[in-house]
Structure 1
Amino acid sequence: MSPTQAPAFGPRAWTADQVRNDTSWIQRLTPAEVAGFDAALAHARTLDKPLLALEQKDFPLNAAARGALERAVATTQGRWGMCLVKGFPVERWSEADTRLAYWGMSLYMGVGRTQNRASEIINNVRDEGGSYKVKGGRGYNTNAKLDFHQDSCDVVALMTRRTAKSGGTSKVISSIALRDEVQRLRPDLMPVLQAPWHHTYQGTQDPVQPPFYRCPIFGDDPVYFSARTNRKNIDGAQRDFPEVPRLTQQQQEALELFDELMPGDKLCFSMELEAGDMQLLNNYVTLHSRTDFEDFDEPDRKRHLLRLWLAIPGSQPLAPQWEEYYGDIRPGAVRGGVRGSAITPEFLAYEERQAKALGMLWRPWRPLVTLADIQSSAA
């Protein structure tokens, strides 16, 4: 493979029309696959084990169900960088059943990553009265329209239990296509976007880490593209940390160009997630958002999705500048997530055990940059 040749079956740039006209990224579960998930759930229920203690043998999938998950994860690493799996029987699974089944599925897909300051492994995506564009604000517990962003892992998976009364439309773009548009319109901004930018952790860092991190928006690797952006967290670093360098004129112009391009009809593909849908996105080659939504009044009808952040065995390598945030840039390594302040021995044991079960590279977590490093350099 030449230095500038992308992997033969890897992700490619796409437009909204292209992904709309090719539905190969959508899978519909067969009766045999559904039966496999039901049977595994029934077995796992009898064990009454904590989620972090579960292993594949505790959620024994038949070949059909296991194959469905393997294809779904593989699809996220292919042409479109995403997959939608339809037909999980959430209408007859309780909330506890759905959570148990979803975690059981994850044991075949990857290593779960912690997602917030409470170091939770599964997040409820529902309106719990949170605020979005404030210090420490996150989008998953609000009903707000979200900025285009990616989550802090190889693959983010959303299981839809209930949909909103109106709104909550999922929006996805190819970050490779976004890169190509910037290259076409403003090639002078490419070196700016490939240099490190400061982002706030929004309070989700380990106590030994600084409250912000540095990461480029676009990677410059000629073979494996990766992107990372979230305007809310860039703006938050500017607002909350005077020690962070101020945005330059070119950086501001880049963000304004993003705001113009990302929601446009050319790049932005919208999908209405339905109950029983599982959406999986490759966070290095897609960016996502959603519209705001209005909920039903009845608690049992309110919009509810479950979110997993996964490190997966077939992940791509990352550029060296990504290591400060992701912790490990080797392909197929356990990486990503946000540590928070409540990592437990049970999680650490799960992480190592699950990595071994999936044949993934793993090493104990260590911060590449500490708060003490930042403080000493500023002294």
Structure 2
Amino acid sequence: MSAADPKFQTFDLPPEITGPSAWYGPDMIQDQSWCQHFTAADVAEIEAATQAVLTDPGVNLAALTADDFPLPQLAPRLRQVRKEVLDGRGFALLRGLPVERWSRRQAAIAFLGLGSHFGRARPQNARGHVLGHVIDMGLSSDDPNVRIYQTHERQTFHTDSSDIVGLLCLQTAKAGGHSALVSSVTIFNEMRRRRPNLLALLFEPIETDRRGEVPPGEKPYFTIPTYSWHAGLLSAIYQRQYIESARRFSDVPPLTAAQREAYDLFDALANDESLNFQMTLKRGDVQLVHNHTLLHDRTAFEDWREPERRRHLLRLWLAPEDARPLPPAFAQRYGSVTPGGRGGVTVEGMQLTVPYDPV
């Protein structure tokens, strides 16, 4: 099929994108300036702010703000990191929180406090949890109401439903469970060079399964293009398994042969080691990822038998007030496109909560 075929070339594609967001994995392996270490002074400041929140009954943990968690010395560095995540390469790793000496509650508050310097925490499920637990719950993604982070399976490359996703590693797996990143901007560039006819299909709306977490008045799936070009910016939203599982609904048509070819190429590029790279999260690591310009993945893992040693990460979905503009279609999934108040899962009667343990 020719790239000039009018059936596929439905509009003028955006131009090839240059700049720090269009990176290749091997280059990131060589240049690890994205990894920073907390100093002893940083940790002392974080612990002091955590203790202040622990002893203040008036603080609303589910709506914790940077004012509630002052970090006078560290905050300027965090602002630089946030700018790099939102406007630069799209990710960062902050290493060295002493989670081994903290209680679960201390770790949760410290993470919520750090996250408040990047954006407002958004609910991650229908129960209103603004603090998520990424742990194997003994479930399977074969269940259409299970989300893959609740299993030990590979997640495959995808985006989360927020501007920024943050992870804090509490415990590592016995084997596997590595984090992988790839630039959705680079995938766009590569598809534009190789198969622009297929790339054009990814700018058309596609149904994606909500996996049982349906806002009032909405369908059990949302319909947003994988790629959107808005206000001169390229933004992506993607989860292949959920695109496939949305076909279970009677009003959702099967993928066409051309759509399947386009998504297969997209996946092949995401999985290409010349584009992506892996990092291993250690205990006390905080990873921050910009969902609009990156896809992230987690490899399958083997866990420890002892419950206290099981792989366990805390997760935040964050909405910065200085986030990029998003097209109106994103409101289907984000609830709103207003920076600082968008993203997450919202259902009728939800109350925001901070669970310290997986539930």
TM-score for both structures, normalised by structure 1:
0.84
**Any conservation in 2 of the 1:114–1:120 contact (CA below 8 Å)?**
yes
Instruction: Provide Cα deviations, 1:124-172, integer angstroms capped at 9, x if missing partner.
Output: 1111112124311212211111121000000000001111111001010
Instruction: State the Cα distance separating 1:64 from its structure 2 match.
Output: 1.9
1:147 corresponds in structure 2 to: 156
CA pair 261-83 structure 1, distance change in 2 beyond 3 A: same
**Any conservation in 2 of the 1:72–1:85 contact (CA below 8 Å)?**
no
**Any conservation in 2 of the 1:33–1:64 contact (CA below 8 Å)?**
yes
Distance 1:305 1:295 in 2: 13
Distance 1:175 1:322 in 2: 17
2:296 to 275, 288, 295: 288
2:305 to 297, 310, 317: 297
Structure 2: any 5+ residue segments left out of the alignment?
1-13, 354-359
What letter corresponds to residue 115 of structure 1 in structure 2?
Answer: Q
**Any conservation in 2 of the 1:148–1:289 contact (CA below 8 Å)?**
yes
1:112 corresponds in structure 2 to: 121
Instruction: Provide Cα deviations, 1:259-287, integer angstroms capped at 9, x if missing partner.
Output: 32211111111000011110000000000
1:310 to 298, 305, 318: 318
Q: Calculate percent identity across the aligned residue pairs.
A: 37
Distance 2:77 2:164 in 1: 16
**Any conservation in 2 of the 1:133–1:232 contact (CA below 8 Å)?**
no
Instruction: State the Cα distance separating 1:29 from its structure 2 match.
Output: 1.1
Instruction: State the Cα distance separating 1:340 from its structure 2 match.
Output: 3.7
1:45 corresponds in structure 2 to: 54
2:261 corresponds in structure 1 to: 253
2:226 to 217, 224, 235: 217
2:36 corresponds in structure 1 to: 27
More helix by share: 1
Moved over 6 A (4+): 4-8
Q: How many residues are treated as equivalent by the alignment?
A: 339
Instruction: State the Cα distance separating 1:313 from its structure 2 match.
Output: 1.9
The equivalences for 1:192-341 within 5 A come to 192-221=201-230, 223-238=232-247, 240-330=248-338, 332-341=339-348
Distance 2:146 2:168 in 1: 22
CA pair 230-53 structure 1, distance change in 2 beyond 3 A: closer
Instruction: State the Cα distance separating 1:107 from its structure 2 match.
Output: 2.5
2:185 corresponds in structure 1 to: 176
**Any conservation in 1 of the 2:156–2:299 contact (CA below 8 Å)?**
no
1:74 to 83, 91, 94: 83
TM-score for both structures, normalised by structure 2:
0.88
Instruction: State the Cα distance separating 1:105 from its structure 2 match.
Output: 2.1
Distance 1:168 1:223 in 2: 36
RMSD over aligned Cα, in angstroms?
A: 2.1
